[in-house]
A and B are shown apart, each in its own frame.
Chain A
């Protein structure tokens, strides 16, 4: 896809986006990547860090209120990034996560930012429950933590131009599966996994 390739080249030139894997990944398995969220480049940075064959099958989750805001952003997000758009403020009774469930059921890997919004801090804040519901519904899919280093310095919230600062994408090993885990305990464990990668 030429749009994503062009975007990835620009990103490489500006911020490097080197991937650091905790151990060599098993890319044959379906995966849910979850990361800290600090800039508009995060999704693209993760896609750029993945090996080309893993890129094809991966769909990032993006907020419809931003990435569907105008025709340009919606073209980039859907054609370029292959994103699933979700409503952050749904009408009552609608399951926000339904579009995500659909693509995971179809066998796609996804990228999700469990804080639900960009943060101005390097380290992630508390997670929303979406990740827990995904883990509960799809116990066989690997949950892979990612720490995005320096992206909050390159293009922090409120700034519109990325600075050329070298950013590293630290991709961890999948979270071990623990049956019947409490929601809060699970979410804290997932967050801890990202904190561990940041050290």
Chain B
């Protein structure tokens, strides 16, 4: 199969899945009677509609080429960081540091991906931003809770820019026998992560009884995690045809992606709770904010990127 064929099959399959989900949603909406089930189904349908929107955005960005995908993720980082900083108590003294994070770091980080400058892409935020952001903040001489404020900004920047940028960074890998097809790897990552989230939600709603971490995230159940996680791993394994991996390698990679995605959801939930919020935002109807949808990607993308680079890159 050529790249174009694989790509079209992939999106055709997703469109079929979503169409099925839309039909099921309609049928359930007619059957729902009690208030709570009506609310659940309405939320389900909002989620499915939002999925249509997200898939269309990805489809169009692929058609426009690699740079468009990089720009798309730059905006995802911007919206994610916007949500993170909105919930984080920062003060006037952080204004210039935050200005640099939003308007210098985000464009720069994605420019480094666009220009394939790998070493600087991995160092910019952990080294340069780590040292320079507090240096900028200290000039305003506000020492109240300085460490807390600095740490929170650093965390936001790491999660929302550094971690998310590892997804489009898959485009700059040079993989053996896979040249020019890296976009498929990006779709593979996003697909497995999001499928795992969706299947955990479905299994949880259908069979969920035992909560995994009730204090952190009341909606995550053992049944959802095991059922959804394992089926997503298996489906991910079967998607090996769009990756440079064999079936078994793909199965292992999917397992890592699912596990990291789950942990990411859990950690981001805990952060949300410590900032006393239920959702990160309201941007994506039915899902909450951008970070509610990206939390699993934040954790899965960097690890998937490095494993792939370590084991499969030619350089």
> Interface on A for B, CB 8 Å cutoff?
16, 18, 120, 150, 153, 156, 158-159, 161, 163-166
Contacts and interface: CB of A to CB of B under 8 A. Distances in A.
A193 to B, nearest CB: 25
B86 A156 contact: no
Contact of A165 (B82, B92, B103, B282): B82
B183 interface: no
Contact of B95 (A16, A18, A156): A156
A161 B86 CA distance: 16
Contact of B102 (A150, A153, A158, A164): A164
B95 A150 contact: no
Given A159-B95, A161-B99, A163-B98, A153 B83 contact: no
B99 A166 contact: no
Contacts of A16: 82
A159 B99 CA distance: 11
Contacts of B282: 18
Contact of B86 (A120, A158, A159, A166): A166
A164 B92 contact: no
Contacts of A120: 92
A81 B136 CA distance: 35
B90 interface: yes
Nearest to A152: B92
Interface residues of B, number: 15
Given A161-B99, A163-B102, A166-B82, 20 more contacts: A120-B92, A153-B90, A156-B92, A156-B95, A158-B92, A159-B92, A159-B95, A161-B103, A163-B85, A163-B98, A163-B99, A164-B78, A164-B81, A164-B85, A164-B102, A165-B82, A165-B85, A165-B86, A166-B83, A166-B86
Given A18-B282, A153-B90, A164 B82 contact: yes
Nearest to B95: A159
Nearest to B86: A166
A163 B82 CA distance: 9
A122 to B, nearest CB: 11
B244 interface: no
A175 to B, nearest CB: 28
Interface in B235-264: none
A16 B86 CA distance: 11
Interface in B25-42: none
B204 interface: no
A150 B90 CA distance: 11
Nearest to A157: B92
Interface string B76-99: 001001110110001010010011
A167 B98 CA distance: 16
A163 B95 contact: yes
A164 B99 CA distance: 9
B97 to A, nearest CB: 10
